[in-house]
Structure 1
Amino acid sequence: MGPAIPKTLDDIYNDYTIRREALLTALTDDATEFYEACDPGKDNLCLYGHADGNWTVDLPADEVPPELPEPVLGINFARDGMERRDWMALCAVHSDAWLMSVLFFYAARFDDSGRAELFSLVNQHPTVYEVVTGRVPRTKINKRKQPVYGKAYAGAMPAPASRGTGAGPTGRLASRPRAEQQAPAADRPLPTGRKLTYDDVSQALVGRQAELYWPDDGKWYLVEIHSVDPDTMEAKCVLNRLGAGWDARAGCRAPPSTPPPNLPMPHVHCRVQYATGEFEALDFDEVIPSGHMSLLAR
């Protein structure tokens, strides 16, 4: 029996990181062995990065169509007609293309939100080409760019960091707050609230308390709406923090006495204020249809 087919976002992401590491090993640590394996006198050869972390140079699969997208054919034919450095870089480019094809082959059943969330995870890592050509260190992890809301996967849970990525103890979400820093959150919105509608978008929202859904952890966070622009469908919200007099599950509307923590926020489109004073552009046209903002009773 073959290896289990990855189906969840985390499993597909982990499959990608393992295959990527295998290809990097072939093109860096084992570069001499890889070079010698690509004999131009042999038939069409492909470089495979396997889900067990190993790599092979082999003939393409016999099945038509194959179980998985195939790597580029015939990498061996160009080996002796190019500078070694350029040929290795070309193999790296094709390896990146193959990794992405396998990634989205497994993610074929994801919707646009799932695909965007998956890509945001993958895009933390430099490409094989960037590492092989020495443009970035192998252990570099890019700052993750969260997809705008409507492009975030509500079912996604944090994936563990891949081995050897240097992501640190916090894993792939380096900015995730410690437990003692987190704002009041819950698995479901308060029963005293109701879903925000287009009819609600007016200056009357100013000063109201609401809850926003954060797809990364599936939690609802309390916010206070500070300003609204009905023309642009934007608002300014501040993430509330549990403090004196604040009952997170009773729907208390008293504003917190302490500044909001610097937390990554759900990428829903109202403008969210961070503790640093920064804002993130968000849009009611995406929040309202998704039902990810709950307006609390006065």
Structure 2
Amino acid sequence: MNQLLRLLSMPRVAARPLHMAAVLSLVGLLPSCQTSVGETSNAYAASKRTVEAATPLGSMSTTAELPDSLRLTPLALLPGVPDSLHQQIQALHASLGPNAAELRLEVLERACVGYLNLRKKGRVSKPGVLAVADMDMPSSAKRLWVLDLKAGKVLQRSHVAHGEGSGYLRARRFSNVMRSECTALGFYRTQDTYQGKHGLSRRLRGLDVGQNDNALHRYVVLHAADYVSKRYIERHGQVGYSRGCPALPPDQYRAIINAVGEGGCLYVGGPGLKSKWLDATIAAQQLAASGWR
């Protein structure tokens, strides 16, 4: 505190410009150093989570008031989607029922368009099954759905973790870079399973070049984690963090891994996602020719 007072009392011409983060760090409101690039200290992370958990959805006037806000990023419907395709996606959304009420139509539309493009190109081979993770939602919410498109029903819904490098309650940063510990957005093909240190795990192949195509090299896989368990969520109010894997609840991971199968489509959506697989014209052609198969 004495150091802070001396700095603030210095003549303006003699004093160096003092960044607000440096001022706050002197009085203990922010850490004075970072534990790693893009990652704040555990104490600061804990304080952020405490404030966020006490903040009702939509109660903030600006996002600058807190590092993370609970307000979801506005998402427009995809441009150029033919009415016939849009109507069928709307019908699908309605048929999924209450268990998909929090799955935004705008997110589902992107996931479906991508799935249809990938089926058309033969990049995913399991018909009618689509997994959707909306990483714009807070990790306290069940933001992963596994859908049976042909039957119009939700096969599984669960919590899912994002990478520690991506943020705290909300994922804000996304990266394809090795050792970033971030979640990478985009479309994935589900690969084979293996027995790893987390038990049964399923490999993921990123299908968006430059955006998630390092997934296999980063060992981004579907696996179980104790920090996604009901007990952990009850204690902390949210799930913990992975190193970039969409980690799953221990009581659901086997069912989810089996439901998505091998050759299936996983869409990990979030702010700023761009993908060549979001071609509405190709999607409409595929749906007209083959339905949701």
Structure of larger gyration radius: 1
- TM-score normalised by the chain length of structure 2: 0.28
Relative contact order (C-alpha < 8 Å, sep 6+): which is higher?
A: 2
